A = this chain, B = another copy of it.
Amino acid sequence: MIRDLVIKNRSYRRFDASVKIGKEQIEQWIELARLSASGRNMQPLKYAICTDEKMNGQIFPNLGWAGYLKDWNGPEEKERPVAYVAILLDKSLAENYYCDDGIAIQSILLGAVEDGFGGCTIGSVNKSKVAKILKLPEHLEILWLIALGKPAEKVVLDTAKEGDIKYWRDENEIHHVPKRPLEEIIFRSI
């Protein structure tokens, strides 16, 4: 059931860094993005996969983690992502990528979750530095970075009350994500 997979597909920010992911496996998740819809079928997105431990260590300091958790600066070494996928816009193909990025990200992460992994989409990225590390040419612009690994944290969904949507961690280190109730997000159903 797609519902089970969607629920399992949480934004995981702590991983078991001892469990590696082969780049061939990640390529199969990119394949899911390849087979997904694209505005005007332009397919202007490209992907860079990094499973290299040293390079991952260079990428990590350029990422911002979990803005609402003010006392947490991101995962410790043994909980860091073991791979990254950079979602890139090929500006030589198009300037506009419509909602291709979200479609691709959802496909990739559902694939990862089905295979027992998980990830987090990060927008807070020092793009010029990560572009240098990944040796990206000028025409490939970083849109998002997906951090990947074997999840090592529990994430639960709650119902948002009075519009308070900030995620938080309880005393047992469980990560809570308040979601607006269905009746609040469906404006009209006829």
A residues with a Cβ closer than 8 A to B are 1-3, 5-7, 9-11, 23, 26-27, 30-37, 39-43, 45-52, 55, 67-68, 88, 98-107, 109-111, 114, 121, 123, 134-136, 140, 143-144, 157, 160, 165-167, 177-180, 182, 185-190
Contact = CB atoms under 8 A, between A and B. Distances in A.
Contacts of A11: 37
11 contacts: A6-B32, A23-B189, A39-B121, A41-B166, A43-B179, A43-B180, A46-B187, A100-B102, A102-B102, A102-B104, A140-B187
A11 B103 CA distance: 13
Counted per complex, copies of this chain come to: 2
Contacts of A47: 185-187
A109 B104 CA distance: 13
Contacts of A27: 182, 186, 189
